[in-house]
């Protein structure tokens, strides 16, 4: 390993007064152990064809878990899973099956949408059959209930048994409402399905456009058309019979049956006074599902802290090791493997390099460091959900979460994008650490995408754990203005959730190395600073943090 990089002078413990400084000499030295060649090597294995796209519950998934566990063991991390294992196993329910058509009828006409081209749908129940028969179609705007904004798209209407047509995203015309152009949790597809189920709907159809989703229709096709996974459904949980997406053009064809203009509906949905609109159309379809239970696991490694009291607390690093597996309908000679090199073999590689940097330190930080490679992120953040529900320590003892989901593969940048900038006290050390690298911190440069709610840190933020989540900077050194945004959009159009997300010889890791060093130094700073990070006053996650800390006090007082 690279422990020879540590300077002998760094072996002298820091006095307490110095423990709040930005970085220590030992941390700066340890950060230099993070190298491009190591990142490439980890990605090369995890994104190889051998792992067949790391689909949840597959051989490739198990190989990825064992590789990561072996790396943790090699680094000397302690197993943090149950029964002295690096693995935290859990079960997924996989469902395969989709209808070929969605049928819509009014009093006199009938029309059908075609699977894949017009709509994508999956069963909302973990059963062999799911039937939607003559369910009334109702447009419910954005499908949002947000008391803090005095917003309720349902207005108390009885929607039991209906199929809800829902706009993606959230209203953005008024900058004082929701996040303006920035997407909040209310704009996420999973929130909308959850709300539809809560009001008793039988089905929900999200209307896709590339601007409202933040990705093209092909991403919906690849992400939702294969086997779909969920955690086992708790008894009595409200469930939809159907969860679907439709294209804008297909939706307009459906609305011709009701003689309603889609643009008029969209316009009406921007206002608080909007009320659901029954469309005079009924929807029918049937799912014949193959339902099976499949094992997967999170991989957990712990670096115990050196302080007798603070070591009970942890800094949590996360990165997801799963991807989309293999195409079921690949043509002969077609690339069928979703290798997931950027998304997210690169994130796991970054976490492994950060873990190695911590082991290079001559002495562990006062707080413990928990490294978690989580499963089934692409299926709806399932692995991090399971981990959040089964943390090795109470949520109040998790100081912060540093989540890594994709690395910069295009070179060095003058900036660092922090998703969720302005939400927590982590902004301070992040800004200073980036400045020490000669870079600046920028807020989410694509705020309409809702990235904070689309990766694993969200499940920990919901518990009140302050989270840092990063994206590539866009101001590339030696490149003209706008080059970074152009490259980002091109990559998303050609490679995001496609078999072409593969490790390339042209990848430039120089910027990734700087980013991963920043991720390491942030965690090291949090791990030795006595004051816990906190959400900013009034933030949506402040209340659960305060509750978690209060619960900890009550437990310790017993």
In a domain, residue 74? The reply is yes
Q: Residue 330: what pLDDT?
A: 84
Residue 282 maps to a domain:
yes
pTM: 0.89
CB 183 within 8 A of CB 419: no
Q: Does residue 4 form part of some domain?
A: no
Residues 251 and 269 in one domain: yes
Show the tokens assigned to 321: 């090791």
pLDDT at 217: 94
Q: Which residues of 231-254 are buried (b: 16+ CB within 10 A; e: fewer)?
A: beeeeeeebbbbbbbbbeebbeeb
The residues, any chain, with a CB within 8 Å of residue 499's CB and separated by 6 or more, are: 327, 335, 336, 337, 338, 339
What is the reported pLDDT for 11?
32
- Residue 363 and residue 302 share a domain: yes
Distance separating alpha carbons of residues 246 and 205, to the nearest angstrom = 7
Find the domain containing 501 and state its range. 29-94+295-527
492 and 478 in one domain?
Answer: yes
Does a structural domain hold residue 230? Answer: yes
One-character DSSP codes across 328-396 = TTPPTTS--B---IIIIIIHHHHHHHHHHHHHHSSS--SSEEEEEEES-GGGTSHHHHHHHHT-SS-GG
Map residue 424 onto helix, strand or coil: strand
The torsion defined by the Cα of 267, 271, 277 and 279, in degrees rounded to 10, comes to: 10
Query: What CATH number corresponds to the domain at position 180?
Result: 3.50.30.30
CB distance 244 to 261 below 8 Å: no
Q: Is residue 237 part of a domain?
A: yes
Per-residue model confidence (pLDDT) at position 127: 93
Assigned token pair, 240: 């939809």
- Whether 554 is in a domain gets the answer no
How far is Cα 385 from Cα 231, in angstroms, rounded to an integer? 9
Determine phi and psi for 93, rounding to 5 degrees: -105, 115
Cα(457)–Cα(466) distance, rounded to whole angstroms?
Answer: 9
Residues 412, 504: one domain?
A: yes
How far is 455 from 319, CA to CA, in rounded Å? 9
Each residue's pLDDT expressed in tens, for the chain with a length of 558 residues: 454 433 323 333 333 333 458 999 999 999 999 999 999 999 999 999 999 999 999 999 999 999 999 999 999 999 999 999 999 999 999 999 999 999 999 999 999 999 999 999 999 999 999 999 999 999 999 999 999 999 999 999 999 999 999 999 888 877 778 877 777 889 889 999 999 999 999 999 999 999 888 889 998 998 888 889 999 998 888 999 999 999 999 999 999 999 899 999 999 999 999 999 999 999 999 999 999 999 999 999 999 999 999 999 999 999 999 999 998 878 898 999 999 999 999 999 999 999 999 999 999 999 999 999 999 999 999 999 999 999 999 999 999 999 999 999 999 999 999 999 999 999 999 999 999 999 999 998 888 788 899 899 999 999 999 999 999 999 999 999 999 999 998 998 899 999 999 999 999 999 999 999 999 999 999 999 999 999 999 999 999 999 999 999 887 777
Helix (H), strand (E) at residue 478: none
38 and 155 co-located in one domain = no
- The rounded distance, in Å, linking the Cα atoms of 307 and 214 is 44
pLDDT at residue 20, rounded to an integer: 58
> 63 with 89: CB under 8 angstroms?
no
Contact 360, 3 (CB under 8 A): yes
Eight-class DSSP state of 174:
S
Under a CB-based contact definition with an 8 Å cutoff, are residues 294 and 60 in contact? no
Helix (H, G, I), strand (E, B) or coil at 502: coil
**Strands 290-303, 87-96: parallel, antiparallel or unpaired by DSSP?**
antiparallel
Choose among 254, 255, 250: nearest CA to 117: 250
Place of tokens 């459906």: 254
Q: How many domains does the chain have?
A: 2
Are 284 and 327 found together in one domain?
no
């Amino acid at each position: 390993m690279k422990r020879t990089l540590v300077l002998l002078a760094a072996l002298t413990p820091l006095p307490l007064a110095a423990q709040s400084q930005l970085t220590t000499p030992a941390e700066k030295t340890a950060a230099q152990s993070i190298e491009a060649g190591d990142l490439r090597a980890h990605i090369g294995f995890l994104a190889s064809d051998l792992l067949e796209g790391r689909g949840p519950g597959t051989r490739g998934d198990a190989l990825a878990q064992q590789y990561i566990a072996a790396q943790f063991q090699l680094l000397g991390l302690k197993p943090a899973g149950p029964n002295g294992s690096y693995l935290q196993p859990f079960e997924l329910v996989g469902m395969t099956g989709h209808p070929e058509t969605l049928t819509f009828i009014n009093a006199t006409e009938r029309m059908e949408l075609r699977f894949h081209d017009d709509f994508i749908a999956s069963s909302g129940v973990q059963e062999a059959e799911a039937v939607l028969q003559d369910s009334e179609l109702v447009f419910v705007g954005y499908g949002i209930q947000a008391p803090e904004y005095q917003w309720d798209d349902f207005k108390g209407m009885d929607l039991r048994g209906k199929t809800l047509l829902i706009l993606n995203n959230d209203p953005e015309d008024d900058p004082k409402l929701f996040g303006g152009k920035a997407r909040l949790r209310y704009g996420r597809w999973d929130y909308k399905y959850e709300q539809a189920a809560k009001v008793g709907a039988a089905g929900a159809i999200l209307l896709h456009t590339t601007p409202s989703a933040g990705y093209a229709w092909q991403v919906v096709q690849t992400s939702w058309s294969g086997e779909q996974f969920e955690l086992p459904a708790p008894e009595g949980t409200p469930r939809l019979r159907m969860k679907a997406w439709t294209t804008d053009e297909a939706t307009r064809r459906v609305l011709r049956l009701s003689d309603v203009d889609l643009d008029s509906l969209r316009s009406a949905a921007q206002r608080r006074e909007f009320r659901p609109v029954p469309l005079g159309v009924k929807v029918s379809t049937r799912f014949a599902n193959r339902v099976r239970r499949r094992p997967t696991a999170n991989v957990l490694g712990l670096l115990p802290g050196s302080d007798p009291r603070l070591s009970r607390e942890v800094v949590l690093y996360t990165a997801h090791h799963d991807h989309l597996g293999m195409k079921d309908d690949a043509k002969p000679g077609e690339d069928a493997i979703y290798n997931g090199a950027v998304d997210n073999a690169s994130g796991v590689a970054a976490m492994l390099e950060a873990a190695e940097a911590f082991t290079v330190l001559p002495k562990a930080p006062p707080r413990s460091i928990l490294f978690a490679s989580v499963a089934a992120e692409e299926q709806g953040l399932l692995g991090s959900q399971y981990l959040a529900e089964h943390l090795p320590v109470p949520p109040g003892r998790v100081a912060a979460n540093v989540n890594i989901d994709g690395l910069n593969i295009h070179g060095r940048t003058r900036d660092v994008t922090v998703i969720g900038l302005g939400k927590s006290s982590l902004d301070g050390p992040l800004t200073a650490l980036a400045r020490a690298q000669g870079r600046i911190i920028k807020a989410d440069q694509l705020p309409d995408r809702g990235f904070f709610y689309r990766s694993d840190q969200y499940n920990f933020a919901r518990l009140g754990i302050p989270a840092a989540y990063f994206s590539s900077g866009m101001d590339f050194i030696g490149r003209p203005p706008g080059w970074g945004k152009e490259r980002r959009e091109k990559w998303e159009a050609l490679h995001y959730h496609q078999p072409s997300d593969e490790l390339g010889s042209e990848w430039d890791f120089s910027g990734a190395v700087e980013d991963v060093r920043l991720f390491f130094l942030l965690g090291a700073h949090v791990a030795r600073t006595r004051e816990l990070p906190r959400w900013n006053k009034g933030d949506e996650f402040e209340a659960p943090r305060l509750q978690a800390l209060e619960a900890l006090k009550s437990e310790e007082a017993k």
